[in-house]
Amino acid sequence: MELYNTLTQKKEEFVPHTPGQVKMYTCGPTVYHYAHIGNLRSYIMEDVLEKYLRWAGYRVDRVMNITDVGHLSSDADTGEDKMLAGAKREHKTVLEIAKFYTDAFFADCEKLRIRKPDTVVPATTRIPDFIHMVEALLEKGYAYEAGGNVYFDTSKLENYYVFGNQSGEDLAVGVRDSVEEDANKRNKTDFVLWFTKSKFEDQELKWQSPWGLGYPGWHIECSAISVKELGEYLDIHCGGIDNAFPHHTNEIAQSEAYLGHTWCKYWFHVLHLNDARGKMSKSKGGFLTVSLLEEKGYNPLVYRLFCLQSHYRKPLTFSFDSLDNAAQAYQKLVQRIASLSKEGQPDETAIQPYRERFAAALGNDLNTSLGLTVLYDVLKADLSDASKRALIQDFDQVLSLGLLEAADQAAQKPAGKEISPEETAEIEALIQKRAEARKAKDWATADAIRDELAARHVVMKDTANGVEWHVEG
């Protein structure tokens, strides 16, 4: 398998530290709000990576943290604690907020067929491990106390900007802004390992430490949890591209200073999901969640398919038109599979070339789009229905689109919903009105009509000959 390594900025053959075994770490959510679909794109693609590795025969041990303390609104150790802000917003305790949104996150993951990691660790359960690592960094001379806080000293490193596309000028803007705010830092790139002098008078979660009553910085959490759960050598570290700096950069700095050797060989980053406003973000408000997609009539697995149609290292632009196209593609795929007979036995010799093609596609830097192409080729191939079903079941161990399950359900009911001429005329009129609204750039009206059509289970696709549509049964 070849995998693009953000650390070296090139595709490399994947060779785990221990043959046949993969130790994989995923940065989990900061549970102060619902995950938006941009966040979930990263988790979908990380899920595909894990499942492909398992499918290819590796034993995978995957760990994820849950950040329920210490993540400030600025990654440069400034701003308000996100958990505290969430608690204030909803008039609840931090732990109540953490539990609610942790449960919500994994509920979304279940709807998207994202496998829950083998080990999930809330940061608040590992405070002694964080303190131990900070103590060790102080003892080794990589950290210092100032103003009551403990900081990592980046001047002790030969190379702080370890990712090849990083530079101090380009990426330390937020850090530069923080210099005047935190005069305790010796260097603009230093970061907090442990807070005691919190500027939040009502900071809810604090623990006793050698440096006084306080709480951990965000970055130390992932390092300490990873080392504790997976050992000194990590094979793959995953996250969204916005985590690369400063979070992952700081993880590498403190982990390798603590261990005394190279820590993680491969870094897997998923690029942003964009919408009309740019990168999808909670700070912009009005962000889309899985629940909101469901309210608009979309199967969450349609969004998973939408993500798989694009490469994880390319920015993906979201629109409801694109999602409508994915919904139609999913429905056609399911209906095609539903027409396959369940009788007979698969021809193992005949299916092997397709399995090899699928392995080659996913093994080439997780090319999910090409993997889907192989799936479509199977349906068009001169193979028995039993062989086609066997391959679909096999591929879906990685794709996790619930194809056979959905097809079997579809086979038990009519392929499409019969509607009256009156309803047909109503739908055609709405589609025409939506087209006129879009042409006039009246997006509010266009969106409202789209939502009404979705509520009526109308699936649309823009073609050269106009809009094609049908009503799902």
Class (C level, CATH) for 17-270: alpha beta
Query: Average of pLDDT values for 240-246?
Result: 93
Q: Which of 247-251, 444-448, 449-453 has the highest mean pLDDT?
A: 247-251
Residue 57 has pLDDT above 60, yes or no: yes
pLDDT at 176: 37
Position 73 pLDDT exceeds 90: no
pLDDT of 320 reads 93
CB 192 within 8 A of CB 76: no
Q: How confident is the model at residue 94 (pLDDT cuts 50, 70, 90)?
A: confident
Cα–Cα distance, 195 to 212 (Å, whole number): 9
CA nearest to 402, candidates 326, 467, 328, 305: 305
* Amino acid of residue 280: M
Predicted local distance difference test score (pLDDT) of residue 179: 38
Assigned CATH topology for domain 275-411: Isoleucyl-tRNA Synthetase; Domain 1 (1.10.730)
Task: Sort 319 into a burial class: Cβ within 10 Å, 0-12 / 13-18 / 19+.
Answer: exposed
Per-residue pLDDT tens digits for 369-427: 999 999 999 999 999 999 999 999 999 999 999 999 999 988 776 545 667 777 888 88
> pLDDT at position 76, please?
59
Q: Would 17-270 and 275-411 be classified into the same CATH topology?
A: no
Helix (H) or strand (E) segment spanning residue 61: strand 59-66
77 versus 133: the higher-pLDDT residue is 133
Distance CA 289, CA 300 (A): 10
Angle at 401 between CA 45 and CA 384, to 5 degrees: 125
* DSSP output for 350-392: HHHHHHHHHHHHHHBT--HHHHHHHHHHHHHSS--HHHHHHHH
* pTM over cut 0.85: yes
Q: 63-67, 178-182, 405-409, 455-459 — which is least confidently predicted?
A: 178-182
Strand pairing category for 59-66 and 21-26: parallel
The pLDDT value given to residue 282: 66
Question: Would you say residue 123 has pLDDT above 90?
Answer: yes
In the chain, where the domains are located: 17-270, 275-411, 421-471
- The answer to whether 274 touches 40, Cβ cutoff 8 Å, is no
Distance, CA of 82 to CA of 85 (rounded, Å): 5
